[in-house]
Structure 1
Amino acid sequence: MEDANLQRLHCSVKNYDWGLPGHVSEVARLHALNSASQLHAEDPFAELWMGTHDSGPSFLASSNRNGNGVSLKAWISENPDVLGDKVLHKWGSDLPFLFKVLSVGKALSIQAHPDKELARTLHKLHPDLYKDANHKPEMALAITSFEALCGFITLKELKGVLHTVPEIVELVGATNTNLVLQTNDQDGEEKVKPVLQAVFTDLMSACKDRVTDAVNRLKSRLLKESEVRQLTDKEQLVLQLEKQYPADVGVIAAFFLNHVKLNPGEALFLGANEPHAYLSGECVECMATSDNVVRAGLTPKHRDVQTLCSMLTYKQECQQ
């Protein structure tokens, strides 16, 4: 006998331009099974949402979505016992998480998700951009080979970048460069963090003309050097990002972040205020119920550079 509390859902799909084409996208395959709709093989299918968030709500399949469809949020509100006593006591009568499937065809934005305090402030000031007042810690579990940028590289690695990528030095200036080169891990987080914040903020805040010139010179140099040596993984990634987002500051910012490669079944945790960007592959995500994203690179969408650079923890790690 079918459990009366077990409900089949119709889920929302997002066709962001970074999604994989329908004929190779897991999101598209699941959406076709879920909705019985005909797919356009070349259209991008990026995300399938399962949850109650207003930006992409799920509906009960037994209801009429074209008329008076019953949303999962409304149904849970009317049947709160399905959440269990502990969830009800802690989070109230709403689903406390959002579950997604992602099919990533090209890089997502360099971004971070605010903690609860900042989320409340951003939502109050800019509700059109920041849709809710909740934080958004998230975990991504790879279902194919999956690549991402996550967290800042070590101080030692950053010094190596400044020695080998002159285009960054030209953008951030000699003062910032010398501050990094003169700083050591033994100085402690209190000294390292403001140095890293200063150099990263100056990079992300550089004017468009200077960024365009730096990215073009970086591209030319790497292509020329590729004829006489094997480029590093990060250098190859930078050239790939430049093809996707020409003249974007995020191309250069990639040098500051860890390049993570996951095998199927491996996972990545992204806490509040941690920089990251998914690059390629497919994954399932579970996060707090929120749609708050602060972006600053590799995107045609709104950029909030000042907020992103001020909110980051500047921890030099990535949790896998």
Structure 2
Amino acid sequence: METRSSPKLRRLRCSVQKYDWGRRGAESRVAKLFALNSGAEADPDRPYAEFWMGTHGSGPSFLLPAGCGNGGHKVSPDVTLKAWISSNPDVLGDKVVDEWGCDLPFLFKELKQVLCDVPEIAELVGSTDVEKFIKLGEQEVEKAKCLLQSIFTKLMSASADIVALAVSQIKSRLELEGQVRPLTDKEQLVLRLEKQYPADVGVISAFFLNYVRLNPGEALYLGANEPHAYVSGECIECMATSDNVVRAGLTPKTKDIQTLCSMLTYKQGFPDILKGVPLKTYITRYIPPFDEFEVDRCVLPKGSSAVFSAVLGPSIFLVTDGEGTINVGSVKQDVVAEGYVLFVPANVEIHVTSVTELHVYRAGVNDRFLKSRELENGKKSQI
């Protein structure tokens, strides 16, 4: 497929993460997007977990060389997006450079009843803290956090043999109870996890977490130091660029229990489900309370058009379904299709037209932050 690129846009070849929890090649949407994006064949026997778009060192994106959709602008075959941005910082916009330097700040990768209903937890961690926690009043938030940290630390620090026994007891009890009553969604989840990760402490940890099912078009955000795990399905994830990952369970990778238990927030409650804010026809914006990023979702019916207004910071565009064209102003159009990833500099308006139904996601620096910085700089210049 021949494409003609605007000099403003840079098509990217991105990286894939083959974590053990990913879906196998033939079943993985991540593998399909990676194959379409890179031209490499997916290994049907390997797990494909995450398709990374950004400047993270563990999964960098590369600019495609001339003749691959960069409008004739010569680019060496192995130039990373991060290196190219470092040489062209103007593409980020002044506000982003001032705050984060020459890099992208984003990477486009109730409990009391539970403790009563799961006796194996009290047996494992000891009944004293559990009984204190159950007796707490609703206003004793800080005491609850301290006790919850103590309970969770004892759980995570338990020996492998003790954990394996507790998991086995939970499994046996739930299988028996499932014959006389419907199991809850979380109880069914625990049995599913036990099949995948037998004797893993993460199976028990699931009782401490919310079980959230998202419908298409819904999103949620997680703050720093809040544990999470993807159970099934595929999604678009955006996060602040960071290497600060501490694992708890449900993985063969190294776990840092002491750091994990000391860093968690131990907040209780159910996360907010974001429906998104209608930005304009066909475009919905998801705005977390973080400066580093926001995400736009665009679903274009066949033969329709949409405009992504120019913003003060850089963006990455991902096409997950369909085929269409993208152009900048009067510049000739780029043909785009499933698996295409584009870097868009600051202050560039993008026009998108669909040939078939087209699904496009945009990740960029939070517009609220950019506008607040612009306002601050405007006030300073008036003084």
Alignment pair present for 1:22 and 2:25: yes
RMSD between aligned alpha carbons?
1.7
Q: CA deviation at 1:234?
A: 0.9
SS at match of 1:9: strand
SS at match of 2:238: strand
1:256: how far off? Answer: 1.1
Highest relative contact order (Cα 8 Å, sep 6+), 1 or 2? 1
Shift of 1:3: 2.5
SS, match of residue 210 in structure 2 = strand
Match of 1:182 among 120, 123, 135: 135
Counterpart among 289, 293, 299 of residue 251 in structure 2:
299
Q: Tell me the secondary structure at the aligned position of residue 73 of structure 1.
A: helix
Q: Deviations over 1:18-51 (max 9, x none)?
A: 1112222221111111111222334221111111
Alpha-carbon offset, residue 257 of structure 1: 1.0
Question: Does the Cα contact within 8 Å between 2:54 and 2:60 map onto a contact in 1?
Answer: yes
- Aligned residue pairs total 261
1:92 has 2:92 as partner: no
String of CA shifts for 1:71-119, please: whole Å, max 9, x gaps.
111111111111111111111111111112xxxxxxxxxxxxxxxxxxx
**1:142 aligns to what?**
none
CA positional deviation for 1:266: 0.6
1:81 paired with 2:34, answer: no
Contact 1:270 1:319 in 2 (8 A): no
Q: Is the 8 A contact 1:8 1:62 kept in 2?
A: no
* Deviation at residue 265 of structure 1 after TM alignment: 1.1
Aligned to 2:236, what secondary structure does the other structure show? strand
Residue by residue over 1:47-78, the C-alpha shift from the partner in whole angstroms, topping out at 9 and shown as x without a partner, is: 111111110111111179xx861111111111
- The one-letter amino acid paired with 1:175 is T
CA contact (8 A) 2:21 2:47 kept: yes
Structure 1 residue matching 2:267: 3-state secondary structure: coil
Gaps of 5+ in 2: 68-75, 274-383
- 2:25–2:45 contact (8 Å) kept in structure 1: yes
Q: Give the partner amino acid of 1:289.
A: T
Listed one character per residue, the Cα deviations across residues 101-148 of structure 1 (whole Å, up to 9, x for unaligned) are: xxxxxxxxxxxxxxxxxxxxxxxxxxxxxxxxxxxxxxxxxxxxxxxx
CA distance in 2 between partners of 1:54 and 1:96 (Å): 13
Q: Please say if 1:232 is aligned against 2:232.
A: no
3-state SS in 2 of match to 1:282 = coil
Q: 1:1-320 maps to which residues of 2 (within 5 A)?
A: 2-62=5-65, 69-100=78-109, 157-187=110-140, 189-317=141-269, 318-320=271-273
30 and 68 in structure 1: CA distance in 2 versus 1, 3 angstrom threshold? closer
- What amino acid is aligned across from residue 15 of structure 2 in structure 1? S
CA distance in 2 between counterparts of 1:16 and 1:158 reads: 30
Residue type of the partner of 2:134? L
**When you count helix as a share of all residues, which structure comes out higher?**
1
Change (3 A) 1:194 1:63: farther
State the distance in 1 between where 2:261 and 2:272 align: 20
